[in-house]
């Protein structure tokens, strides 16, 4: 899908070279083009509704994610299970932030359909003035400029004791466009968001199709004999961080894959870390095209998930929480083995993995005995190709979505810092 490219930004232009802002002269100083440079108190008012905690009542609670990522929905608590005497009621369509985590960008505008929700008194809420559009401020909460301002406003001793007081928050000075321009900016960015949502929906349909085909594959080979994974593969753990390695003379810095990079039927290589290790270990652990990557631990439903390495990054190795499975018998296709591990293997690893407090894992011995159908290579390749065609399309959608998100981020920045201007006769002031 590439319809997003049809979005027209014909009403966007660079501002003229002679455009200048007027220095702040009090709370309501005007700037060129109708933008207002003023404290946030010009557009927001503190409006906290606190309630007494009743022991027998349940309270659905929320938190605020950092870097403007929205709300965190928590399980409901009973009044008898908390030490809080009061809670703040969090209403729809208000701005809320965490006083304790504001310096990390923990700020959001609540959705209009937010169900009854509560939070501790560390979460002040603010209502909007008549010339402030909540959707525009929702965009503003996702920007680096807002996060930087919150960090500057944070006061206290030590990271976890730092807080942003509501009065200090309302004193943050920002440039805000007139209401009609706020709404137009929202419309432009919503058009991009709609396309990102459409891509995600299409990817979701394909993921359902992938799982359906995986179940069909499992049913088709259910009666076939199986062999343990270790009988035709070399299974290796990855690099364990060791401070003593840093004392060695032959250190090299190489890229390495973490659990966060290894997903079910795809690899996320948008952020790949590097690590220093010895040349000997780097050579031993270097990934080769055709190696199957399988995760050792995490949530139970993610055990064994992974994909085939295609040598996308030269000299790449893997961490100790990611297994490298290298097929040594040409009668087996690595793409089939990986697909089998991601489909049939999901339930198998959940059954035979171990669970400690909050963390599930599989060890090398468990992975070694993972049963793989001993079927003709041509049959393996047929299943792998059919599943792979779906994955290839999903990967294409991910690339488009990633490109769109980058476009949106640049567009939002440009619109808010006025390096991109919306030209529209109805917005003349």
Q: For the chain, list the domains and their CATH numbers.
A: 1-11+177-224+375-429 (1.10.287), 36-175 (3.90.220.20), 225-374 (3.90.220.20)
DSSP codes joined into one string, 129-182: PTT--HHHHHHHTTSHHHHHHHHHH-BSSSGGG-B--HHHHHT-EEEE--HHHH
d(CA 279, CA 249): 9
Predicted confidence band of residue 156 (pLDDT cuts 50, 70, 90): confident
What is the overall mean pLDDT for the chain? 88
Residues 6 or more apart from 11 whose CB is under 8 A from it? Answer: 422, 423, 424
- On the question of pLDDT at 425 being above 70, the answer is no
Residues 6 or more apart from 181 whose CB is under 8 A from it? Answer: 34, 35, 422, 427
d(CA 169, CA 45): 11
Model pLDDT, residue 423: 61
Model pLDDT, residue 361: 83
Predicted confidence band of residue 252 (pLDDT cuts 50, 70, 90): very high
Model pLDDT, residue 158: 56
Q: What is the mean pLDDT of residues 334-347?
A: 95
Question: Beta partners for 281?
Answer: none
Model confidence pLDDT, tens digit, residues 40-65 = 999 999 999 999 999 999 999 999 99
Residues 6 or more apart from 169 whose CB is under 8 A from it? Answer: 40, 97, 102, 124, 150, 153
CB 295, CB 264: distance < 8 Å? no
Q: How many CB atoms lie within 10 A of CB 412?
A: 19
**DSSP 8-class letter at 342:** H
Kindly report the backbone phi and psi dihedral angles of residue 152, in degrees, each rounded to the nearest multiple of 5, phi listed first: -65, -30
- On the question of pLDDT at 24 being above 50, the answer is no
d(CA 366, CA 202): 36
d(CA 257, CA 293): 9
Model pLDDT, residue 191: 94
Model pLDDT, residue 10: 43
Classify strands 58-59 and 292-295 as parallel, antiparallel or unpaired.
unpaired
Model pLDDT, residue 14: 45
Predicted confidence band of residue 299 (pLDDT cuts 50, 70, 90): confident
Roughly how many angstroms between the first and final C-alpha of the chain, as a whole number?
Answer: 39
Residues 6 or more apart from 61 whose CB is under 8 A from it? Answer: 74, 75, 76, 77, 87, 117, 118, 119
Q: What is the largest CA-CA distance in the chain?
A: 81
Helix (H) or strand (E) holding 118, with range, is strand 117-119
Model pLDDT, residue 354: 85
Integer angstrom CA distances of residue 123 from 23, 68, 292 = 33, 15, 46
- State pTM to two decimals: 0.74
Model pLDDT, residue 161: 62
Q: What is the mean pLDDT of residues 136-161?
A: 86
Model confidence pLDDT, tens digit, residues 403-422 = 999 999 889 989 998 888 77
d(CA 53, CA 227): 59
CB 304, CB 370: distance < 8 Å? yes
The pLDDT > 90 percentage for the chain reads: 74
- On the question of pLDDT at 2 being above 50, the answer is no
CB 345, CB 302: distance < 8 Å? no
d(CA 53, CA 293): 50
Predicted confidence band of residue 180 (pLDDT cuts 50, 70, 90): very high
Model pLDDT, residue 357: 65
d(CA 330, CA 375): 12
Angle among Cα 86, 87, 91 to the nearest 5 degrees reads 145
DSSP codes joined into one string, 1-22: --GGGG---TTEEPPPTT--PP
Predicted confidence band of residue 424 (pLDDT cuts 50, 70, 90): very low
């Amino acid at each position: 899908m590439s319809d997003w490219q049809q979005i027209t930004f014909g009403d966007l232009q660079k501002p003229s070279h002679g455009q200048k802002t007027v220095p702040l002269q009090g709370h309501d100083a005007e700037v060129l083009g109708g933008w207002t440079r003023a404290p946030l108190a010009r557009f927001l008012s503190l409006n906290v509704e606190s309630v007494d905690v009743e022991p027998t009542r349940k309270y659905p609670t929320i938190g605020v994610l950092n870097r403007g990522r929205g709300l965190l929905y928590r399980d409901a608590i009973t009044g008898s299970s908390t030490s809080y005497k009061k809670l703040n009621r969090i209403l729809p369509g208000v701005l809320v932030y965490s006083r304790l985590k504001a310096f990390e960008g923990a700020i959001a505008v609540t959705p209009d359909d937010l169900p009854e929700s509560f939070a501790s008194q560390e979460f002040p809420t603010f209502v909007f003035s008549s010339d402030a559009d909540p959707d525009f401020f929702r965009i503003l909460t996702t920007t680096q400029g807002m996060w930087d301002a919150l960090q500057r406003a944070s006061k206290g001793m030590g990271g976890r004791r730092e807080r942003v007081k509501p009065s200090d928050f309302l004193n943050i000075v920002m440039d805000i466009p007139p209401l009609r321009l706020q709404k137009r900016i929202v419309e432009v960015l919503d058009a991009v968001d709609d396309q990102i949502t459409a891509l995600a929906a299409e990817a979701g349909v394909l993921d359902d199709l992938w799982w359906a085909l995986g179940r069909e594959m499992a049913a088709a080979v259910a009666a076939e004999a199986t062999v343990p994974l270790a009988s035709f593969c070399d299974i290796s753990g990855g690099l364990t961080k060791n401070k003593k390695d840093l004392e060695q003379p032959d250190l090299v810095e190489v890229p390495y894959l973490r659990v966060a990079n290894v997903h079910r039927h795809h690899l996320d290589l948008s952020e790949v870390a590097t690590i220093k290790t010895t040349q000997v270990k780097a050579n031993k652990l270097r990934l080769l095209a055709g190696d199957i990557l399988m995760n050792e631990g995490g949530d139970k439903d993610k055990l064994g998930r992974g994909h085939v390495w295609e040598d996308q990054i030269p000299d790449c190795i893997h961490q100790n929480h990611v297994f490298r499975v290298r097929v040594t018998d040409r009668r087996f296709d690595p793409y089939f083995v990986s697909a089998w591990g991601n489909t049939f293997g999901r339930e198998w690893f959940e059954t035979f993995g171990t669970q400690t407090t909050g963390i599930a894992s599989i060890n090398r011995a468990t992975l070694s005995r993972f049963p793989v159908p001993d079927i003709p290579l041509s049959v393996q390749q047929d299943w792998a190709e059919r599943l792979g065609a779906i994955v290839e399309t999903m990967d294409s959608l991910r690339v488009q979505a990633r490109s769109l998100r980058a476009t949106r981020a640049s567009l939002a920045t440009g619109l808010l810092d006025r390096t991109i201007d919306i030209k529209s006769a109805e917005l003349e002031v």
